[in-house]
Structures are given as structure tokens and as C-alpha cells.
């Protein structure tokens, strides 16, 4: 099992460009999450999904969109990147909801917006 994978691992964008981060899991988990990690701050939830075809806003959703067309994939989109979106992005998945179940994290994507 690959667990949770993320592509790409690194990306540099110019302000205003768009991109999509792909997360895939092979554990048949219902729940999937996108987090961002910034220096001096704890992980913050951007969006999450409770199953195929569902998405919901987390604590910092502005500037991001997500889709969960297939159970195993969760896509994070930046329509018009801004320097404030420079961060490390982590995808995670869990069988039950994260507050009461174990989360499995992907390796992270380091995004720089110039």
C-alpha cells in the first residue's frame, strides 16, 4: 500500500497563476483533508471531505477550492495564487472523522508563490 500520496512535491508559482494539488489514498478512507503548515503556527485545515462527492470548508478556506469526484482522490485548487499562499500543504485521510480517529498524512507539497 502506498498510503497517502501527494503530487507535486515542490512547486513555484508566480502571483496570479493557478495550480492543482493532487492527493490520493489507497486505504478506502471516507474522510480526506487538506491542511497548510506555516512557520510558528499549527496545522490549519483548509477544506475537508466526508465522502465521495462531498466537500466542506475548514478554518482557512479562502482562495482555495476542492473536489472529491472519486473516493480515493482529493484535489486542492488555487485559482489565482497569492504570496500569502506560500506554505507547505499536507493532505490526510482517515476512516472515521479526524477528531476521534487516526489520520494518515501525505509527504507534503512545498509551494512558493513569488
Partner 1 sequence: KNEVEQSPQNLTAQEGEFITINCSYSVGISALHWLQQHPGGGIVSLFMLSSGKKKHGRLIATINIQEKHSSLHITASHPRDSAVYICAVGTPRFGDVYNTDKLIFGTGTRLQVFP
**What is the binding site for partner 1 (CB under 8 A)?**
40-45, 48, 50, 54, 56, 58-59, 88, 90, 92, 97-105, 107-108
Strands 104-105 and 87-94: antiparallel
| C-alpha cell, 61 | 478556506
The label of the residue with cell 482522490 reads: 73
Q: Least Å distance between CB 98 and partner 1?
A: 5
Nearer to partner 1, 48 or 74 (CB): 48
Nearer to partner 1, 47 or 78 (CB): 47
Q: Exposed, middle or buried: residue 106 (CB in 10 Å: 0-12, 13-18, 19+)?
A: buried
Nearer to partner 1, 2 or 14 (CB): 2
Amino acid at each position: 500500500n502506498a498510503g497517502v500520496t501527494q503530487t507535486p512535491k515542490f512547486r513555484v508559482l508566480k502571483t496570479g497563476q493557478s495550480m492543482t494539488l493532487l492527493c490520493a489514498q489507497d486505504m478506502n478512507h471516507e474522510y480526506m483533508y487538506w491542511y497548510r503548515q506555516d512557520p510558528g503556527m499549527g496545522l490549519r485545515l483548509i477544506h475537508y471531505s466526508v465522502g465521495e462527492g462531498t466537500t466542506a470548508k475548514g478554518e482557512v478556506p479562502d482562495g482555495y477550492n476542492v473536489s472529491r469526484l472519486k473516493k480515493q482522490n482529493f484535489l486542492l485548487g488555487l485559482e489565482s495564487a497569492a504570496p500569502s499562499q506560500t506554505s507547505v500543504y499536507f493532505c490526510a485521510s482517515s476512516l472515521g472523522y479526524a477528531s476521534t480517529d487516526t489520520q494518515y498524512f501525505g509527504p507534503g507539497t512545498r509551494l512558493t508563490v513569488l
